[in-house]
Structure 1
Amino acid sequence: MSDATLTRIAEALERLRPAPAQTPDWAAAEAFVWHADPDRLEPVAQVNRVDLPLLLGIDRARDTLLENTLQFARGLPANNALLWGARGMGKSSLVKAVHAEVLAQNLPAKLVEVQREDLPSIGRLLSLLRVAPVRVLLFCDDLSFSHDDQHYKSLKAVLDGGIEGRPENVIFYATSNRRHLMPRDMIENERSSAINPSEAVEEKVSLSDRFGLWLGFHPCSQDEYLAMIQGYCAAYGVKIDADTLRAEAIEWQATRGARSGRVAWQYFTDLAGRRGVTL
């Protein structure tokens, strides 16, 4: 093979290699979204979030996560956090609301969201964040792993950091409906089919143990559900008779077959629309 042919092959491979991500303008936004292929951090003009006082029924999780995040933003030791539990109870909303509260206290931490599908590129993202002049709250929403899913191995780079260690200016928050990030039947299948069942299960289940904070979210009571809606009404100036609100809200959650913060917001969205109130 001639030198010219080898040169063309080398140049072709070089073109196929992803270009290194450009250093973002950290002053451009409060939050960014990580995209892979090509690698880039895109600024978010306006974060979709609710105010922290409107998140009711999750007081312990709220206070714990806020204190942990404030410690991190002040340059003090803090833990990675896993927010797990019932659907629609404000896990991702809490992360975004806590970030807003940190900014309100003049602590300029940035929020960076990474999609579960982009976890294999997390090492490249960490290399970019390691030299960032800001503190970064790295966030992955709805994190879970299915059968034969190897993305969880990439996540260990965030939680443990390998030989380099997790960047001092980065903390990782994830939300999941599953406490161990994997379905129960997957765990049971590992136990029944692996050569060494305990080791096979341990490799996957121990991933959640690498989070210093576990914050559980559980289904809300009817009183908490109604209090959420009343809080939204007060915050947005929606006027409605208490008995009418109670009857409509209970009927709404009965038709949905569920009661959660998400269902409360969905009812309130419908109510605000009927009352001509913009959100």
Structure 2
Amino acid sequence: MTNKDKPVSRLTSMLNRLKFTAPHPGRIQAAPLMRWRSRGDASCLEPIRHSREIRLEDLLCIERQKAALQSNTEQFINDYPANNVLLWGPRGTGKSSLVKAVFSEYRGQGLRLVEVTRDNLTDLHDICDELSRFTGKFIIFCDDLSFDVNDPSYKTLKVLLDGSVSDIPDNILIYATSNRRHLLPEYRSENLEARNIDGEIHHGESVEEKLSLSERFGIWLSFHPFNQEQYLQIAFHWLDRAGVTIGDSDQVRQAALQWALEKGTRSGRSAAQFARDWAGKALLSEQ
């Protein structure tokens, strides 16, 4: 091989290592947790090997939402009618964690989870076709969704949920989370389009378009910011789970509140992060 050929050979070798190949169908059939992955023009289901398990009992102060999502999921895995679900509310209030915890709770009964990012929503029809080939029940999990009106992935999801000639297969549901109730930005000027007709308020076309996607989810679950006592309850729960012996609870309480102040939020995520930091330092000092 000449020196001139060596760069070409190295490039060919690199491309071969990066070659995108779909996993064997047997691996997909056996995988409880997957993602839809795209690289260039190729896309496929890919098993997820490492994930952090979340338990339902670790999610505090969202009992109504837990009960509703559990009930819908139990209906689904037992072949009874069930709905696609939109979980919406501020960041860090447990939306994504609840979906993952429900999956952990029912994976032993054949439930499987497929993570699909917003960028891959245009592949939803292909994803559903692919999943329909396998046995079991699948939740397509779309996390942290938000769209612009002209976003092609928004239109794909809207049509698939209700409006396409082809329906979602019976072994698939869609669980989506968003910080926005209607998944789209809302502007004050759009309220000016509303009209009073015979005493009834009729939304303008802009608002109707934004409502048209979220309304296609059969169940809406709203999440709200935690108050101070709820935040502290969550923080102390995670400290207990970490095996930390709490001596001066007032000191821990003040530290947790200071943590929330610096983070600018009393979210469940912030409480868990505080507990992880405090527990790590406490356990390290005991060595």
TM-score by length of 2: 0.82
In structure 1, what is the Cα distance between the partners aligned to 2:152 and 2:193? 18
Could you tell me which amino acid in structure 1 is paired with residue 77 of structure 2?
A
Residue 249 to residue 74, structure 1, CA distance change in 2 (3 Å): same
The corresponding residue for 1:199 is: 205
CA distance, structure 2, for counterparts of residue 190 and residue 201 of structure 1: 10
Partner of 2:12: none
More moved, 223-232 vs 167-176: 223-232
The alpha carbon displacement at 1:199 in A equals 3.1
- The answer (yes or no) to whether the contact 1:112–1:136 under 8 Å persists in 2 is yes
The one of 174, 185, 194 equivalent to 1:183 is 185
How far residue 156 of structure 1 moved from its aligned partner, in angstroms, is 2.4
CA contact (8 A) 2:85 2:221 kept: yes
Deviations 1:172-194 (A, max 9, x none): 000000000011129829959xx
Query: Residue deviations 1:123-149, cap 9 Å, x none?
Result: 111111122211101100001102532
SS at match of 2:265: coil
User: Displacement of 1:22 after TM fit?
Assistant: 6.6
Structure 1, unmatched stretches of 5+, are 1-17
Give the superposition deviation at 1:80: 0.4
Give the counterpart letter for 2:250 in structure 1: D
Question: Which residue matches 1:29?
Answer: 31
Distance, in Å, in 2 between the alignment partners of 1:174 and 1:111 is: 12
Letter in 1 for 2:161: L
Give yes or no for the alignment of 1:114 onto 2:116. yes
Q: Name 1:5's counterpart in structure 2.
A: none
User: What percentage of residue pairs aligned between the two structures are identical?
Assistant: 43
- Counterpart in 1 of 2:228? 222
Quickly say closer, same or farther: Cα 1:214–1:24, change in 2 above 3 A. Answer: farther
What residue number does 2:44 align with? 40
Normalised to the residue count of structure 1, the TM-score between the two structures is: 0.84
For 2:192 and 2:146, the matched residues in 1 are separated by 16
Alignment of 1:115-134 (within 5 A): 115-134=117-136
Identify which of 174, 178, 185 aligns with 1:172: 174
Q: What count of residue pairs does the alignment treat as equivalent?
A: 254
Match of 1:270 among 256, 277, 284: 277
Q: Is the 8 A contact 2:22 2:45 kept in 1?
A: no
Name the SS of the counterpart of 1:276 in structure 2. Answer: helix
| Matches of 1:20 and 1:266, distance apart in 2 | 36
Structure 1 letter corresponding to 2:166: E
**SS of alignment partner, residue 111 of structure 1:** strand
Moved over 6 A (4+): 18-22
- Per the alignment, residue 68 of structure 2 pairs with 64
2:191 touches 2:204 (CA, 8 Å); kept in 1? no
Question: For 2:184 and 2:136, how far apart are their aligned partners in 1?
Answer: 33
> By how many angstroms is 1:81 displaced?
0.4
8 A contact 2:88–2:177 mirrored in 1: yes
Equivalent residue number for residue 96 of structure 1: 100
Distance in structure 2 (CA, Å) of the matches to 1:42 and 1:186: 42
Contact 2:145 2:177 in 1 (8 A): yes
| Residue range with higher mean Cα deviation, 119-128 or 153-162 | 153-162
Q: Which residue of 2 aligns with 1:77?
A: 81
Cα pair distance change 1:21/1:161, threshold 3 Å: farther
Rounded to whole Å, the distance in 2 between the matches of 1:41 and 1:190 is 45
Please state if 1:240 is matched with 2:242: no
SS of residue paired to 1:50 = coil
1:209 paired with 2:211, answer no
**Structure 1 Cα separation of the partners of residues 153 and 63 of structure 2:** 32
The aligned counterpart of 1:14 is none
Aligned letter for 1:41? L
RMSD between superposed Cα atoms in Å: 2.4
Change (3 A) 1:243 1:20: closer
